[in-house]
Structure 1
């Protein structure tokens, strides 16, 4: 086996390892993004029930739920679920869940059928 063949084999192995590492990393990221890290039913209850939620939207660190009414909102229960802050607006509640906000939004919208 000459030196050129050996170099080609080593380069091919390194490329194969990088490709495998990329796909493993991508699979782990996708799994984490779809898992809801909190008790979703408790969040719905704290927001006045499933029927009270019009829509859910997220930014990289916050989750906003637009609501039909402000009746039955339990801000302490939302904080107990892990929100580091909660702001109640006229027709919405904005919660700071950090990086988990997108996963919670996806789970909420799946449950709401949106």
Structure 2
């Protein structure tokens, strides 16, 4: 099934329908996924692991591998991964850069949870 979107206005949104939808989707295995993000991407090609990439600042339009995971990374995992990458690249930076990094991290987090 390509991008299963199992919400229908004709069926309704009751508790039983949500349980059925959750159960039905849990039987699927993601075999190929590519999700671009603001500062990187999440990729999987079965049977490989889930891979999280981040933007390479030295080479535009290139990615570097940040981490491989067995399960699909959620918003919290991505925030931790991208936060660690930013900390490594900004070691010894000024207070202003650190504050800007915190605000960009919060902004990215809010965008992820608002989807």
Q: Normalising by structure 1, report the TM-score.
A: 0.28
Is the helix fraction higher in 1 or 2? Answer: 1
Structure number with bigger Rg: 1
Q: Normalising by structure 2, report the TM-score.
A: 0.27
Q: Which has the higher contact order (CA 8 A, sep 6+)?
A: 1
